[in-house]
Structure 1
């Protein structure tokens, strides 16, 4: 199943709150894309982006916060 391309040209990217001032290995996400979470490498802002289903992103973040 193919979906229509998502235009990220106006995306407002937000860097991880765990990012430090050295840049490091961080990701950025964009909000305001219903049902999707665009993700990109903060060191390569013009490189490719991943489009993650919002439910999968929520589960991923929750698994990172789970201490078990």
Structure 2
């Protein structure tokens, strides 16, 4: 067995794993930020239900058979 080659391969695998984890963390942070921004935009654009034109609209359905 070549100890030097084995050591180098192990070191490269560790670096690859650390890089993968770093990219995954950045992706998760970006996703969380985008989700928070989307929620804020939705809350800002949704008018409160008290300002509805007719609050009774859609409560009943007329069905004739």
TM-score (norm 2): 0.25
Bigger Rg, which one: 2
Greater relative CO (CA pairs within 8 A, separation 6+): 1
Structure number with higher helix proportion: 2
